[in-house]
Every structure is written in C-alpha cells, then in structure tokens.
A and B are shown apart, each in its own frame.
Chain A
Amino acid sequence: MRHVRIDRWSRGESYFHTLHAAAKLVAALTLLLCIATLSVRSLVCCAVYLMVLTVSVKAARLPVGRVLLSASAVLPFAVCFAIITALSGEPDRAAMLLIRGYLSSLTALLLISTTPMPDLLAGLEWLRAPRFLVQVMQFLYRYLLVLIEEAGAMRDAAESRAGSVRSLAVRQAAGAAGVLFVRSWGRAQAIHRAMMARGFEGHIPRFREFPLQRSDVAFTLVAAALTVGFRTVLA
C-alpha cells in the first residue's frame, strides 16, 4: 500500500495532535483570514507568521524541512497569478500574492498534518458546517486514496510495457485518464450499492459527539488573540 505521508504525520502524539479539531480549525481559519487581508507592505507580519508556523511545525514534531517544502506545492498556481499581476505593473502585489499563498498553504498543511481526517471532519461537524459538505469531503478523501492506488497501478502497467510513462503520447495519456474516470464512475456505483445494501436512505446518521475541553478553548483564544494581535500591531 502506498501510504500518504500527511496521513502518517497526522497520527502523531504532540500537544497539537491532542487538541480538539474544532479548536485547531478556528485558530487556522483566524490565521488564514489575517493572512488574506494583509496589505502589500506587511512583510514584517508575514515574517512573524512564518516564524510562528515554523515553530508550531517543530513543536508538532513534524519534519520542518519537508513540511516547509511541501507547503510550496501551491506556488506553481500562485506564480501564474503573480506573473499576471507583475506584468500589469504591480510587482509588490505579485510578491505578496506568492507570500500569502505560501503562508496559507503552510497553515492548512499544519492543520491537516496534526489532525487525522476523521477528526477533522468531526471538527467541521462540531462547528456546524453543512453535513452534505462534510460528507462529500469524507468520500472525496476516502476514495481519493483508492483512486491514487488505481492510478499508480495503471502507471505501473503502462511503464511495464512502455518503458516509461514519459514516453506515452498525449493521446494515450488522455485515454488512460479516461479509463481512470470510467473506473471511478464504476466504483462510485459499487459504493452506492454497498451503502444501499446497508440501509442508506439519503443521509449518514451522526455517530458521536466530541466534547470541547477547557484547554481547547484556551488554545483557540490564545492563538486567535496572538494572530489578530500581530496583524494589528505589525501590519
């Protein structure tokens, strides 16, 4: 089985891992909101946020280098918009776009690297996020892993015959993507059948409640206060 790295990270035992998912979600959302509203000249605040996030990654006993590198996965997308912004004569805004994108990515990565997906979904439910949305996320995550496995198997099969997937023509690659889509469709039907066979009638019943502890509330308040405080003082 190809293990997903972030899923493995999320099963750690640091202080951050033990916090209630809802507490971490609120703290992360507060930080994301502050990052999103930073002005072009808020570089000091950005540096402080980066430092706080890096210290948090370290405190969560995650590999700092790999996490910082993984967070840059969002940059290729941000770069496209940054180039357009720079070409329109706003280089400062373009740079800030990249910085904000990276910090947001790092925040989200820290959240999911310290919270197993089932807990994260439970946290969203606790915060009264729409259940339909939570269920879509649940299925997406559950079967994304299965699809990654299937895509990996198809890639291995292609490589075993073509030598390298790089040598596949665009048309063949598109065909493989089509096959993967059809397989996904078939799997979706099979899952639906399995759900109906077990009594599914349109909604997944709630199974358990997750009580919030005082320490969780304290963490949320301190984290939110610090985040907003930095934003107010430094930006």
Chain B
Amino acid sequence: MSFIVEVKSLSYTYEDGTAALREVDFELEAGKTVALLGANGSGKTTFALHLNGILRATSGTVSVDGLEMNDRNLREIRRRVGLVFQDSDNQLFMPTVLEDVAFGPLASGASPGDAAEKAHTALAKVGMGHKAGKAPWHLSAGEKKRVAIAGILAGDPRLLVLDEPTTFLDPPGQRGLADLLDSLPQAKLLITHDVPFARRLTGEAVFFQEGRIAAKTSIAAIVQEFGW
C-alpha cells in the first residue's frame, strides 16, 4: 500500500505557547479522499500547513509521497502538495487570472511558454478558460475558488488540501465545486465544517479534538459519536 502522506507523532506549539497539535499520527493512501472534521481551533488547519512545509513540526515527522519534510525536499514537496486556502483573495495575488495560475509552474522553473500552456490546461479543467485575461478582482467568489484550484492544478500536484472550500460559495457554487473535485484524480484532504459537502466526496473522515485525532472512521460514525 503506498501512502501519499505519512505523519508520525506530529506535535506543534505556536510561539505564544499554544499547543495546536499533540502526537498526531496520520496516513493517507494515494488517490483517496478524507475529510478533516473538528471544532474551530482543534488543529485541522495547523495540521494542513505542515503538509506543505508552511509550518514545521516542533516534534515528530511528516513525509509526503515518500519525501521527508526537510529543507532539501521542500521545493519538491510544495510542488506535489497543492494547498487551496479558505479565502481565495489571499491566493490570487497576480494581476490576471492567467498569470496567477501560471505562477506555480514558473516558480518551479518552467519556461513562460510551458507555464502558459499548463495554466491554460488547468483553467480549462475547472471551466475558467474564458476568464484567463480577467483580473482576479473581477471574479465572483465561486469563480475565484475555481481559479485558486486551477492555480494548484497547474503545478500537477499529487495531493490537494482544501481548507473550508465551500466558504463564500452559494449552493449551486458548492455543487459545482463538489462535481469538479470529484472529477480530479488526486488524493484529497478536505478541511470542512460542511458535512453534506464532505459526504458528496468521501465517506471517510478523521475528527480533530484539542490538537489530537480523536477518531478515524466514517463520517456517519463521527456524526453519531460527536454529535457533529
């Protein structure tokens, strides 16, 4: 069995002394989708930020696609793990949609021509090819989310980590996003409070509680056991 993510005894304490993660063990098989559920402040986002090396473990180890998290592997890990942030405005920082989506490939050394081609392909995949020349601030919330996902897909990642992907989206936007994510072959980690949305994409979930994984089971069981 090949794991795209292997986390062992991961602990993380913020500078102000808040212990956000305590001895977390987690594994994710390639191609699988798992929902991360739990209350606000339970450690879900902190956990996700470790998978891309934005935060580095206070203790414990994180491996992605067989690569141990360290300075040497950081660039490659960031290429393989696509993080989609909760607020798309934070993610879309380039002047046009095309330039924004091409940023990842360019940053990882692709030529402008290759980056543009990858960007166009990714935009077509999320149904936003016709918005390539637009400025991000001219897009609706749903369109921004799609472009943010295209920006990640352009880097051809093996794992997608989506932090509260349904925030700011109306019900049709949420349905469209679920269909889009369902069509993508990558392994996915969904950080969400939206249980119906998670159920559309997977039956499996882990439940975070006070920095620990309290349960690793089906969404239905978590809903029942934790009243979620």
Give A contacts to B, CB under 8 Å: 1, 7, 116-118, 121, 138-139, 142-143, 145-146, 187, 190-191, 193-201, 204-208
Contact = CB atoms under 8 A, between A and B. Distances in A.
B106 interface: yes
Contact of B79 (A1, A199, A200, A206): A199
A208 B112 contact: yes
B107 A199 contact: yes
Given A187-B90, A190-B87, A207-B99, A200 B135 contact: no
Contacts of B52: 197
B78, B89, B91, B94 — most chain A CB neighbours (10 Å): B89
Contacts of A204: 94, 103
Nearest to A209: B112
A194 B135 contact: no
B107 A142 contact: no
Contacts of B39: none
A232 B177 CA distance: 62
Interface residues of B, number: 33
Given A118-B135, A145-B137, A197 B54 contact: yes
Contacts of B151: 198
B75 interface: yes
Interface of B: 49, 52, 54, 75, 78-79, 81, 83, 85, 87, 89-91, 93-96, 99, 102-104, 106-108, 112, 115-116, 135-137, 151-152, 155
A32 to B, nearest CB: 24
A7, A121, A143, A191 — most chain B CB neighbours (10 Å): A191
B54 A193 contact: yes
Given A116-B135, A118-B96, A199-B79, A207 B115 contact: yes
A205 B106 contact: yes
A145 B89 CA distance: 10
A139 B85 CA distance: 18
A207 B151 CA distance: 14
A21 B222 CA distance: 57
A148 B102 CA distance: 27
Nearest to B83: A197
Counting from the closest, the 10 A-B pairs by CB-CB distance are: A118-B95, A199-B107, A205-B106, A190-B90, A197-B83, A194-B91, A198-B104, A197-B52, A194-B90, A191-B90
A142 B108 contact: no
Given A117-B135, A195-B93, A197-B52, 4 more contacts: A118-B135, A190-B87, A198-B103, A207-B106
A129 to B, nearest CB: 15
B162 to A, nearest CB: 12
A15 B155 CA distance: 38
Given A116-B135, A193-B54, A206-B112, A199 B78 contact: yes
B108 A207 contact: no
13 contacts: A117-B95, A117-B135, A118-B96, A142-B93, A142-B95, A187-B90, A197-B85, A198-B78, A198-B104, A198-B152, A198-B155, A199-B107, A205-B107
Contacts of A195: 93
Contacts of B106: 205, 207
A205 B96 CA distance: 14
B137 A198 contact: no
B104 A142 contact: no
A207 B78 contact: no
A193 B56 CA distance: 13
Contact of B102 (A117, A143, A207): A207
Nearest to A10: B135
